[in-house]
C-alpha cells in the first residue's frame, strides 16, 4: 500500500462527509487496515526527508556565507578603487573624463550630518522606538494579571533528532 498521511487524512475526511452510510462503512473498513505502524513508518520516512532538507538548508547557508564574504571583499575593492580614482582626479583638478563606453566625473554631494558624540544629542533629535516588553508582559500574565492586549499561548513543535 502506498501510504501518504495527507492522502489518508483527506480520504478519511471525504469518507466521513461525502458518502452515504453504506459507503461510509466500507470506507471505514478500508481504513481499519491501516495500522499505527503504517502511520509511524510514514512519519519516519517524512522525518528522514525533512532531515535531508535541513542538511540542504545548512549547505545553502554555508554557501550564502561564503558568497556574502566574497561579495563584501569585492565591494571593499570596488570602493577602494573608486576612492583612489576620485582622489587622483580631485588632486589633479580633473572634473570629468569622457570615455568610449562611459564617462567618469567628480561631483559635489548634498551635505550630510555626521554625529560626533551621540551621547550629547538631546531627546528632541532622537528617534524613540516603541515596542512591547514581551518579557514583562509574559511575567505579568504568568502571575495572573489580566492584560486585554495579550495572552499566553502554548504550542508544540516537531523535533527530529
In a domain, 136, yes or no: no
pLDDT in the model for residue 23: 66
In a domain, 50, yes or no: yes
Domain boundaries, position 73: 35-116
In a domain, 155, yes or no: no
107 CB-side CA count, 13 A: 5
SS3 18: coil
pLDDT in the model for residue 52: 84
In a domain, 25, yes or no: no
Q: How far apart are CA 49 and CA 12, in angstroms?
A: 24
Per run of 10 residues, the mean pLDDT along the chain (length 161 residues) is 50 57 65 72 79 89 95 96 95 94 93 94 90 95 95 85 74
In a domain, 108, yes or no: yes
In a domain, 43, yes or no: yes
In a domain, 86, yes or no: yes
pLDDT in the model for residue 77: 97
pLDDT in the model for residue 3: 46
In a domain, 10, yes or no: no
- Total domains, the chain: 1
Amino acid at each position: 500500500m502506498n501510504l501518504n498521511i495527507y492522502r489518508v487524512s483527506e480520504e478519511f475526511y471525504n469518507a466521513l462527509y461525502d458518502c452515504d452510510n453504506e459507503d461510509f462503512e466500507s470506507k471505514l473498513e478500508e481504513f481499519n487496515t491501516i495500522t499505527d505502524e503504517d502511520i509511524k513508518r510514514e512519519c519516519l520516512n517524512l522525518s528522514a526527508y525533512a532531515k535531508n532538507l535541513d542538511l540542504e538548508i545548512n549547505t545553502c547557508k554555508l554557501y550564502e556565507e561564503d558568497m556574502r564574504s566574497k561579495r563584501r571583499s569585492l565591494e571593499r575593492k570596488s570602493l577602494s578603487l573608486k576612492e583612489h580614482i576620485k582622489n587622483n582626479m580631485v588632486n589633479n583638478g580633473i572634473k570629468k573624463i569622457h570615455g568610449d563606453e562611459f564617462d567618469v566625473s567628480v561631483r559635489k554631494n548634498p551635505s550630510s550630518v555626521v554625529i560626533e558624540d551621540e551621547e550629547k544629542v538631546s531627546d528632541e533629535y532622537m528617534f524613540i522606538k516603541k515596542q512591547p516588553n514581551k518579557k514583562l508582559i509574559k511575567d505579568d500574565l504568568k502571575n495572573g494579571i489580566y492584560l486585554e492586549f495579550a495572552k499566553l499561548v502554548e504550542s508544540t513543535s516537531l523535533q527530529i533528532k
